[in-house]
Amino acid sequence: METEAVVTQILEEVIGVKDVSREARFLDIGGNSLNLVQVLKHIQDRTGISVPPRMFFEKTNSTIAAISAAIDSQRRCQPANEYSLT
């Protein structure tokens, strides 16, 4: 499954929203620090990438598209079993 679709699905499930745009930001769709813990765990489990929490709170580059692109970039740059954006 494409990374963007995975991240979108996780956000929709954890936050409880539907039809989230790829340009949506975590905070704009009702995300908060409490459900971010779940989101980060699901992303780690499904993609193998550890995403730093700050990515979800930045004013820029915090859209689903930008976070997904960062995950994909990290996957290409690191050998297997060493995925981390921190």
So what's the pLDDT on residue 77?
A: 83
What pLDDT, on a 0 to 100 scale, did the predictor assign at position 84? 55
pTM value is: 0.85
CA distance 19 to 52: 25
Neighbouring residues of 46: CB distance < 8 A, sequence distance ≥ 6: 6, 10
| Structural domains in the chain, sorted by start | 3-77 (1.10.1200.10)
d(CA 60, CA 28): 13
> For residue range 2-44, what is the model confidence (pLDDT) as tens digits?
999 999 999 999 999 999 999 999 999 999 999 999 999 999 9
Token look-up 């936050």 returns 15
Helices 33-47 and 3-11, axial angle in degrees (round to 10): 150
pLDDT in tens, 49-82: 999 999 999 988 899 999 999 999 988 887 655 5
